[in-house]
Structure 1
Amino acid sequence: MAIFVTTQTPKKLLSAIKQAISEDDVATWSLHGEDHFTHSAEQWARRAWFKARIEERRIVFNIVPPKGRIVSRATYGIYHGRFIEMLLNHFDDQFENASATAMPTVNDRIRSRTATDE
């Protein structure tokens, strides 16, 4: 599952997201390193990370699991839904479209889910 954010200014938007997180304007996400985001709510913290990648006219956020673990369906859904929610609440004037894929993409660092993954 990946999040695709279409924008005329992907570098500027990614910088604004990082700044808002570092200044606590966005309290529900934290930044790790240069380009890894994780949910900061205690229940969901560090269950996964999004790794940001700039492409022409968009930012792609691929999901990365904790070392040696997989991402559960619940975490999958919460992370993608809440990240897009954060974008809409704080940056709606800086992008045209945000969408999430239903299944992992080639750049997500997880294996495909099965019915028993939770």
Structure 2
Amino acid sequence: MSVTFMTSNPKALLAKFKKAIDEKDVATWSYDGDGDFTHDTDQWRSKAWMRPELLSDRLNFSILAPKDGGMTKTVYGIYHGRLIECFLSHFDDAFVSGAATAKVSGKDSI
């Protein structure tokens, strides 16, 4: 786990995130056909991907390095921080807490 949001309805939280992106309410994230998310700004686009995982009481995101490899601490920090910032700003009514791991763990792939 890289980033986790504790919620009673992880499926609905993920759907809200996708809908906000689709409707351009969230302009700084995008997702691909696999359902992975990237921070969609000129500086950070495709530097990493966040892969969602639905569990009964949480929505987890694991971080993935781009196919050409490599990830810096800065990219790791930016992606974690910006994802939590986005969820706090837009979906605070849909989860009770959000957290990030300081180091690679779980299903992260860098």
Output the CA distance in 2 between the equivalents of 1:53 and 1:33. 15
Counterpart residue number, 2:29: 29
**Gaps in structure 1 of 5+ consecutive residues:** 111-118
Q: CA separation of 1:34/1:13 partners in 2, compared to 1, >3 Å: closer, same or farther?
A: farther
Aligned length: 110
Q: TM-score, normalised to structure 1's length?
A: 0.90
Output the CA distance in 2 between the equivalents of 1:86 and 1:104. 21
Counterpart residue number, 2:3: 3
**1:16-95 → structure 2 map (5 Å cutoff):** 16-95=16-95
RMSD: 1.0
Q: Is the 8 A contact 1:36 1:52 kept in 2?
A: yes
TM superposition shift of 1:82: 0.6
Q: Which runs of 4+ in 1 moved over 4 A?
A: none
2:86 partner letter? M
Q: Is the 8 A contact 1:22 1:31 kept in 2?
A: no
Larger Rg: 1
Q: Is 1:98 equivalent to 2:98 in the alignment?
A: yes
Output the CA distance in 1 between the equivalents of 2:33 and 2:60. 17
Counterpart residue number, 2:109: 109
2:89 partner letter? N
Q: Is the 8 A contact 2:36 2:52 kept in 1?
A: yes
1:59 partner letter? L
Output the CA distance in 2 between the equivalents of 1:103 and 1:26. 27
